[in-house]
Chains A and B, each alone.
Chain A
Amino acid sequence: MKKSLLLLVSAALCAGFSSCSDDNQPAQQLPHEISIINEYPEGFDTGSATALSVTFTELNTRDTYTLTSDAASESLTFLLPTGTYDYTGIITYTTTLSDNSDKTLQLRSIGSSVTVTGPTTLTLDWFMANAASDLIISEIYAAGSKNAAGTSGLRDAFIRIYNNSDHTLYADGLAIVESDFVNSRSNDYDILTPANDRNINFTVGAVWVIPGSGSDVAIEPGEYITLTDQAIDWSTQVEGALDLTGANFEWYDDVAQDTDNPSVANLDKWFSYSKTVWMMSNQCNRSYALVKFPEGMTVDKYLAEYKGSYDYLHPTTGTQMRKENAYLIPNNWIIDGVNLSNKEVFVRGALAVSIDASYASISDINGDKQRFGKKFIRKTAAVTPDGRKILQDSDDSAADFILVSANN
């Protein structure tokens, strides 16, 4: 009996300790070859690419795998274990602008729920993007809705600022500015003051700042805020006009001609060329930019140090003239900018070509009354798996914006 007991206990101990050894490694998922075919935007020069990166995120495990290359090509191969993947890709490339300067831009590609259980062919559709502009101007409604007489636009104009990133961003402290220069033939000045060179500074006639301490106006990914002239229900005045009572901010000039909706916060007016009310150009022939001031900038400091008076030659008389009522925005403060005009009279954008290589056109002809009720909106470049739109931002407004009814 003692021998039986010893055998019994020995068997238990041996079996037990052998099962306790650290041999319990996970079954490895065999990697599979992924053949990647790249489809680039028309005209993209693969030779201009300086870096390529595609990150695959496995949806079940959150494991990530990154493919990197220092050049773009038509096809690539990569290894991935079994799984279901979302992916995001970035290609950095260099392009030469019309002023012969070089600019670094990006292509992006995103995709979702790619199932890999064996060798897989994956086509990546690349689109133009600008990673620097996480907050962008997504919509501009400058023309306004047609007034009751059909002669001009109402003041239901607005600008929308959109969070094009995948993380929460804050808009307070940012400024919406309007160019002092007009982008049309009639204002084809020769600017004589070097500081007002558009490749150095953006010369502006209005500066409106979103109030807050830097963390008060959050914009979630895929969301936007609306800045408007008068946050009222215009549709009660003219059928088809907009109800802007839900706007986030309004620019209010505190003069008798303006109307304030007290339930909508007002932007801080740092500067306006207008002695009465400031309105967006309903001719749609100026430029607009979203600006982030450097740390510590105040209205007093800005007005004291960035006066933008300039001398110019009048295009018809040839007379040297001076414009006092303008300020400067250094180009490196600008996080997004859009030139507006129409095709008939456009001469150049007030923004540097590195900020906007072209312009968004309201019409083929100047003074077109059909422009009323139309707004510029950015194209949607892609939609993330969770439904968030990524808007196109290639710093080329002609390519990035389309014209739609303001009621859309």
Chain B
Amino acid sequence: MSKSASIISLFILSTFLTCWSVDRDDHTVSSLLPYLHDDSYAKFTLGGVISSTGLTQSAETGCGKNLGYIAAESYRHLGGSNTVKGYAKFTTGKIKDVSWNNSADFELVSPYVIGDPVGGDLTERGYDFGGAYAWNNRKWSIGVSAGYRAELFYRQRDPRDKITVSDLNVAISGSMRPGCGIYAVGVETDIRVYSQSSQIEVYSPTVNIPTYAMTGLGSWYPRFTGNSSESTAYSGFGYGITLSLLPIGEPSYATDAYIRFGNTDMRQYLREINNLHLTSLHILDMSAGISVLFRHHSGYIRPAGYLSLYNKTGDENLLGQATGNSYPVIGSRENYYKKRLNVGIKADSKTVIGRSSVGVAIGAEYYSRQERLISPSRTVNTDGIIPRLNVEWSYNIGESKCLSISGNVLHRFTHTGDMSLDLGTDAAITGSLMERNIAVIRSDFTTFGIGVTYSRPIFNGLTGAVSGRWQHSSYDIPDGNVNQFSLNITFTI
């Protein structure tokens, strides 16, 4: 590869990382692995993020985080017909001031969490690793991939949470190149096996911290409030199918596309009540994206569109009279649902002018969010539009040293739809929780940020890069400022 081509590739890579385009690495099925990158690489990253989010996030997700991580990733063409990819990541740090949630992966298991109003910081240790292998000939390819995530969250003061997560994903896929042309199309099926265990302990005999088995929108199981449900667990199984279209090489006109359907069922158990099956969640998700890349002599322009749909329904089991520590399940009711739609269009371009490169990305997203509890009847519907603009300027200092400066701005225009939140007697318990969470959902906000990246060759094909980014958001609510700073040091070979 020539030096100028290498610089353009680096520019394009940096744009990929910062301009929220269709992310090929995330959506490409494993059998298309051989076509994903022309060159093998290995990457080692040391990074961290510090954020303070005030009251702009739901209480269950906290008020920011201080996290550091080490990640390694390798992509290799082994010669002939074999390609492999592997990654490993260790994350450690703190999630600040989480309350009303004693579980991890809140987006996945909500609303069925055990919550307490006190909460506090959670220490996180996360291990994430996996790999993929693909074999291909000129027309066909097959691939397998697996990923495993293990996380531990804990708090060393009352209420003392201890949460462990085990999340395994396995996929198998096959692809073909119609007519051995410039496109490859692949299909992948995947399964997910998920488990989580969460314990709450209170050491101080003088502290009385109530716990609630939450059921959504400020409601809870009255039978499992107090100190009797201190240990909960989740067991989930999911499967999905992904179709992916990938251009091979660097044609002047190329289309990337994917579509994915997924289904996940999650069950919540109360460990201390004889593994009582309390609730179930059924999650259907679909996402699709397409981008069309037009290359020209000094860069490219790429319009894109994407869509994601998410549908979660929740069943509460009805329990009979306890015999000892066992409650018979006598029925169930579907009492909760949450729906989300995101659809957006965007276009990004990159133009190389001399030693500089200028990238611009504009886009707009429409989103709709519906959350409903059937009994007691509570509804929260919002929708809105988020226009965005990203710009990036990169300069080749010489000797393959590169400096990039990027900036972004977006604004969320929120519209409140049907809203019915009569908490009744629950107001005394979860009133402030719901007030905070609803304010976040209904708030307009503006986000802007700036980032700087400097990269340079170190020796023998090893490139080092340092990037820093600061992001600020301002919500129309009290204590509504978000500040986030991230720093990454990356070595690529």
Contacts and interface: CB of A to CB of B under 8 A. Distances in A.
Interface string A331-358: 0000000000000000000000000000
Interface stretch (B61-69, B101-109, B331-339): B331-339
B333 A27 contact: yes
B366 interface: no
Interface string B300-330: 0000000101010100111111100000101
B257 A5 contact: yes
Interface in B180-232: 183, 185, 221-223
B252 interface: no
Contact of B320 (A4, A17, A62, A84): A84
B284 interface: yes
A115 B320 contact: yes
A318 B153 CA distance: 90
B341 interface: yes
A22 to B, nearest CB: 8
A16 B318 CA distance: 31
A26 B334 contact: yes
Contact of A83 (B255, B257, B311, B331): B331
A16 B341 CA distance: 9
B84 to A, nearest CB: 28
A26 B333 contact: yes
Interface in A112-147: 113-115, 117
A9 B318 contact: no
Contact of B257 (A9, A24, A60, A63): A9
A408 B450 CA distance: 77
Given A9-B288, A15-B286, A16-B286, A61 B259 contact: no
Nearest to B223: A59
B243 interface: yes
Nearest to A27: B334
A63 B331 CA distance: 15
A138 B230 CA distance: 38
Interface string A1-41: 10011001101110111011000111101000000000000
A117 B330 contact: yes
A55 interface: no
A29 B318 CA distance: 10
Contacts of B261: 15
Contacts of A245: none
Contacts of A17: 309
B290 A9 contact: yes
B320 A20 contact: no
A82 interface: yes
Given A5-B290, A83-B330, A117-B330, A26 B318 contact: no
Given A11-B259, A19-B309, A20-B339, A61 B321 contact: no
B293 interface: no
A115 B330 contact: yes
B321 A115 contact: yes
B251 interface: no
B178 interface: yes
A221 to B, nearest CB: 16
Interface string B237-259: 00000010100000000010101
Contacts of A84: 318-321, 330
Contacts of B318: 29, 58, 60-61, 82-84
Interface string A48-86: 000000000011111100000000000000000011100
Nearest to A2: B255
B374 interface: yes
A16 B375 contact: no
Interface residues of A, number: 31
- Size category, B interface: 35 or more
Nearest to B243: A8
Contacts of B313: 24
B320 A12 contact: no
A60 B316 contact: yes
A5 B255 contact: yes
B316 A13 contact: no
A62 B286 contact: no
B243 A13 contact: no
A349 B333 CA distance: 57
Contacts of B339: 20, 24
Nearest to A8: B259
B451 to A, nearest CB: 32
Contacts of B330: 82-84, 115, 117
B287 to A, nearest CB: 8
Given A5-B255, A20-B341, A59-B222, A113 B321 contact: yes
A5 B245 contact: yes
Contacts of B376: 62
Nearest to A84: B320
A242 to B, nearest CB: 31
A27 B183 CA distance: 46
Interface core residue of A4, A17, A27, A84 (most chain B CB under 10 Å): A84
A64 to B, nearest CB: 11
B288 A60 contact: no
A256 to B, nearest CB: 44
Contacts of B328: 115
Contacts of B374: 25-26
A8 B258 CA distance: 8
B93 to A, nearest CB: 36
Nearest to B244: A8
A29 B261 CA distance: 31
A3 to B, nearest CB: 12
B341 to A, nearest CB: 6
B375 A63 contact: yes
Contacts of B243: 8
Interface in B257-279: 257, 259, 261
A264 to B, nearest CB: 26
Contacts of B321: 84, 113-115
A61 B257 contact: no
A15 B307 CA distance: 12
Contact of A9 (B259, B316, B322): B259
Nearest to A61: B375
Given A60-B223, A117-B320, A12 B286 contact: yes
A71 to B, nearest CB: 31
Contacts of B320: 84, 113, 115, 117
Nearest to B370: A22
A61 B311 contact: no
A25 B335 CA distance: 8
B43 to A, nearest CB: 31
A113 B318 CA distance: 12
A392 to B, nearest CB: 26
A20 B319 CA distance: 31
A61 B337 contact: no
A14 to B, nearest CB: 11
Given A20-B341, A27-B333, 7 more contacts: A1-B183, A8-B259, A16-B288, A20-B309, A60-B317, A115-B320, A117-B320
- Top 8 nearest A-B pairs (CB, nearest first) are A82-B331, A12-B288, A113-B321, A115-B320, A16-B309, A26-B334, A26-B374, A12-B259
6 contacts: A8-B259, A83-B330, A84-B321, A113-B321, A115-B321, A117-B331
